[in-house]
Amino acid sequence: MLTLVKNKDIYFEYIRTLRLHPENTSGFIEQVFITPAQQQTYMEEHGHKFYIALYQKKPAGYIGVIDDDIRICTDPNFKRKGIAGFMLDNLAVLHPNARAKVLRQNAASNNLFLKCGYYKYNEDELFNYYKRAGK
Ligand SMILES: CC(C)(COP(=O)(O)OP(=O)(O)OC[C@H]1O[C@@H](n2cnc3c(N)ncnc32)[C@H](O)[C@@H]1OP(=O)(O)O)[C@@H](O)C(=O)NCCC(=O)NCCS
Protein backbone atom coordinates (compact mmCIF):
# COMPACT_ATOMS: atom_id res chain seq x y z
CA MET A 1 0.00 0.00 0.00
CA LEU A 2 1.23 3.48 -0.93
CA THR A 3 0.74 6.67 1.07
CA LEU A 4 2.15 10.17 0.79
CA VAL A 5 3.08 11.85 4.07
CA LYS A 6 4.50 15.21 4.97
CA ASN A 7 8.23 15.30 5.38
CA LYS A 8 9.67 15.37 8.89
CA ASP A 9 13.11 15.37 10.42
CA ILE A 10 13.46 11.58 10.48
CA TYR A 11 13.46 11.69 6.65
CA PHE A 12 16.01 14.48 6.15
CA GLU A 13 18.94 12.08 5.84
CA TYR A 14 16.92 9.67 3.68
CA ILE A 15 16.22 12.47 1.21
CA ARG A 16 19.91 13.36 1.11
CA THR A 17 20.86 9.72 0.47
CA LEU A 18 18.41 9.39 -2.42
CA ARG A 19 19.43 12.72 -3.88
CA LEU A 20 23.10 11.61 -3.90
CA HIS A 21 22.56 8.02 -5.00
CA PRO A 22 24.69 7.24 -8.09
CA GLU A 23 21.59 6.00 -9.93
CA ASN A 24 19.82 9.29 -9.31
CA THR A 25 22.32 12.14 -9.51
CA SER A 26 22.50 12.37 -13.29
CA GLY A 27 18.78 13.13 -13.42
CA PHE A 28 19.19 16.34 -11.48
CA ILE A 29 20.16 19.71 -12.86
CA GLU A 30 22.80 20.39 -10.22
CA GLN A 31 25.58 17.86 -9.68
CA VAL A 32 26.54 18.68 -6.12
CA PHE A 33 27.63 16.91 -2.98
CA ILE A 34 25.54 17.69 0.08
CA THR A 35 26.87 17.16 3.59
CA PRO A 36 24.55 16.11 6.44
CA ALA A 37 25.01 19.57 7.96
CA GLN A 38 24.10 21.30 4.69
CA GLN A 39 21.07 19.05 4.39
CA GLN A 40 19.96 19.93 7.89
CA THR A 41 20.19 23.64 7.13
CA TYR A 42 18.38 23.24 3.81
CA MET A 43 15.64 21.13 5.35
CA GLU A 44 15.11 23.58 8.19
CA GLU A 45 14.17 26.13 5.53
CA HIS A 46 12.50 23.98 2.87
CA GLY A 47 11.67 20.65 4.52
CA HIS A 48 7.98 21.50 4.85
CA LYS A 49 7.78 21.69 1.06
CA PHE A 50 8.63 17.98 0.71
CA TYR A 51 6.56 14.79 0.96
CA ILE A 52 7.61 11.18 1.37
CA ALA A 53 6.05 8.20 -0.40
CA LEU A 54 5.68 5.23 1.93
CA TYR A 55 5.37 1.76 0.47
CA GLN A 56 4.11 -0.62 3.14
CA LYS A 57 5.17 2.05 5.63
CA LYS A 58 8.77 2.19 4.32
CA PRO A 59 10.09 5.31 2.57
CA ALA A 60 10.27 4.74 -1.19
CA GLY A 61 10.76 8.22 -2.63
CA TYR A 62 10.28 11.91 -2.17
CA ILE A 63 8.73 14.84 -3.95
CA GLY A 64 9.13 18.53 -3.20
CA VAL A 65 7.81 21.78 -4.61
CA ILE A 66 9.77 24.99 -4.14
CA ASP A 67 8.48 28.13 -5.85
CA ASP A 68 6.17 25.88 -7.91
CA ASP A 69 9.17 23.89 -9.18
CA ILE A 70 8.97 20.11 -8.72
CA ARG A 71 11.84 17.87 -7.59
CA ILE A 72 11.11 14.15 -7.49
CA CYS A 73 13.15 11.05 -6.77
CA THR A 74 12.40 7.36 -6.31
CA ASP A 75 14.44 4.98 -4.20
CA PRO A 76 16.44 2.70 -6.54
CA ASN A 77 14.97 -0.29 -4.65
CA PHE A 78 11.48 0.77 -5.76
CA LYS A 79 11.90 2.00 -9.31
CA ARG A 80 9.36 1.20 -12.04
CA LYS A 81 6.70 0.32 -9.50
CA GLY A 82 4.61 3.42 -9.98
CA ILE A 83 6.01 5.33 -6.98
CA ALA A 84 6.79 8.54 -8.90
CA GLY A 85 3.47 8.38 -10.72
CA PHE A 86 1.71 8.03 -7.39
CA MET A 87 3.57 11.02 -5.97
CA LEU A 88 2.75 13.17 -8.99
CA ASP A 89 -0.92 12.17 -8.93
CA ASN A 90 -1.11 13.30 -5.30
CA LEU A 91 0.80 16.47 -6.05
CA ALA A 92 -1.76 17.41 -8.67
CA VAL A 93 -4.23 17.93 -5.82
CA LEU A 94 -1.81 19.57 -3.40
CA HIS A 95 0.04 21.80 -5.89
CA PRO A 96 -1.91 21.96 -9.16
CA ASN A 97 0.19 24.84 -10.51
CA ALA A 98 3.54 23.17 -9.92
CA ARG A 99 5.86 22.84 -12.93
CA ALA A 100 8.94 20.84 -13.83
CA LYS A 101 12.17 21.69 -15.60
CA VAL A 102 13.63 18.42 -16.86
CA LEU A 103 16.97 17.72 -18.53
CA ARG A 104 16.26 16.66 -22.10
CA GLN A 105 18.57 13.69 -21.64
CA ASN A 106 16.54 12.43 -18.65
CA ALA A 107 14.28 9.98 -20.51
CA ALA A 108 12.75 8.49 -17.38
CA SER A 109 11.64 11.86 -16.05
CA ASN A 110 10.40 13.20 -19.40
CA ASN A 111 8.31 10.05 -19.89
CA LEU A 112 7.07 10.30 -16.33
CA PHE A 113 5.67 13.81 -16.67
CA LEU A 114 4.07 13.08 -20.03
CA LYS A 115 2.45 9.97 -18.61
CA CYS A 116 1.13 11.76 -15.53
CA GLY A 117 -0.96 14.53 -17.06
CA TYR A 118 1.71 17.12 -17.79
CA TYR A 119 2.49 18.62 -21.16
CA LYS A 120 5.61 20.25 -22.53
CA TYR A 121 4.95 23.98 -22.81
CA ASN A 122 8.50 25.04 -23.60
CA GLU A 123 11.98 23.74 -24.34
CA ASP A 124 15.49 25.02 -24.82
CA GLU A 125 18.85 23.48 -25.58
CA LEU A 126 19.13 21.65 -22.24
CA PHE A 127 15.64 21.42 -20.76
CA ASN A 128 12.03 20.55 -21.34
CA TYR A 129 9.45 22.47 -19.31
CA TYR A 130 6.23 20.83 -18.13
CA LYS A 131 3.02 21.95 -16.51
CA ARG A 132 -0.32 20.33 -15.95
CA ALA A 133 -2.90 20.31 -18.66
CA GLY A 134 -5.20 23.31 -18.23
CA LYS A 135 -2.63 25.30 -16.20
C1 LIG B 1 12.28 9.67 -12.87
C2 LIG B 1 11.95 8.82 -11.64
C3 LIG B 1 11.49 9.75 -10.50
C4 LIG B 1 10.85 7.81 -12.00
O5 LIG B 1 10.52 7.10 -10.81
P6 LIG B 1 9.73 5.71 -10.81
O7 LIG B 1 9.08 5.58 -9.48
O8 LIG B 1 10.63 4.61 -11.21
O9 LIG B 1 8.63 5.94 -11.95
P10 LIG B 1 7.26 5.15 -12.15
O11 LIG B 1 7.43 3.70 -11.81
O12 LIG B 1 6.16 5.88 -11.45
O13 LIG B 1 7.07 5.26 -13.74
C14 LIG B 1 6.07 6.08 -14.33
C15 LIG B 1 6.43 6.25 -15.80
O16 LIG B 1 7.63 7.01 -15.94
C17 LIG B 1 8.37 6.53 -17.08
N18 LIG B 1 9.64 5.95 -16.65
C19 LIG B 1 10.03 5.70 -15.37
N20 LIG B 1 11.29 5.19 -15.36
C21 LIG B 1 11.68 5.11 -16.66
C22 LIG B 1 12.88 4.68 -17.29
N23 LIG B 1 13.93 4.21 -16.58
N24 LIG B 1 12.96 4.77 -18.63
C25 LIG B 1 11.93 5.23 -19.37
N26 LIG B 1 10.74 5.67 -18.82
C27 LIG B 1 10.64 5.60 -17.48
C28 LIG B 1 7.49 5.49 -17.73
O29 LIG B 1 6.62 6.16 -18.65
C30 LIG B 1 6.71 4.96 -16.55
O31 LIG B 1 5.52 4.34 -16.90
P32 LIG B 1 5.53 2.74 -17.24
O33 LIG B 1 6.27 2.07 -16.11
O34 LIG B 1 4.08 2.40 -17.29
O35 LIG B 1 6.25 2.62 -18.53
C36 LIG B 1 13.18 7.99 -11.16
O37 LIG B 1 13.74 7.32 -12.26
C38 LIG B 1 14.26 8.81 -10.48
O39 LIG B 1 14.23 8.97 -9.27
N40 LIG B 1 15.24 9.30 -11.26
C41 LIG B 1 16.38 10.05 -10.69
C42 LIG B 1 15.98 11.41 -10.21
C43 LIG B 1 15.38 12.24 -11.31
O44 LIG B 1 15.77 12.20 -12.47
N45 LIG B 1 14.39 13.06 -10.92
C46 LIG B 1 13.70 13.96 -11.84
C47 LIG B 1 14.33 15.31 -11.82
S48 LIG B 1 13.27 16.42 -12.75
Q: Is 102 in the pocket of ligand 1 (CB under 6 A)?
A: yes
What is the structure's pLDDT at 71?
97
What is the structure's pLDDT at 30?
84
This prediction has a pTM of 0.96
**Which residue pairs, CB below 8 angstroms and at least 24 apart, start in 84-90?**
84/112, 84/116, 85/112, 85/115, 85/116, 86/2, 86/4, 86/53, 87/4, 87/51, 87/53, 87/61, 87/62, 87/63, 88/63, 88/112, 88/113, 88/116, 88/117, 88/118, 89/116, 89/117, 90/4, 90/51
If one residue of 21, 32, 52, 79 were mutated to test the ligand 1 pocket, choosing by the most ligand atoms within 8 A of its CB, it would be 79
pLDDT value at 135 more than 80 = no
Residue ranges and CATH numbers for the domains of the chain are: 2-97 (3.40.630.30)
Q: Is 27 in the pocket of ligand 1 (CB under 6 A)?
A: yes
Q: Is 101 in the pocket of ligand 1 (CB under 6 A)?
A: no
Q: Which atom of ligand 1 is nearest to the CA of 106?
A: 44
Q: Are 53 and 42 in contact (CB under 8 A)?
A: no
Q: Is 129 in the pocket of ligand 1 (CB under 6 A)?
A: no
For 15-62, write each residue's pLDDT tens digit: 999 999 999 998 888 888 999 999 999 999 999 999 999 999 999 999
Strand partners, 7: none
For 77-133, write each residue's pLDDT tens digit: 999 999 999 999 999 999 999 999 999 999 999 999 999 999 999 999 999 999 998
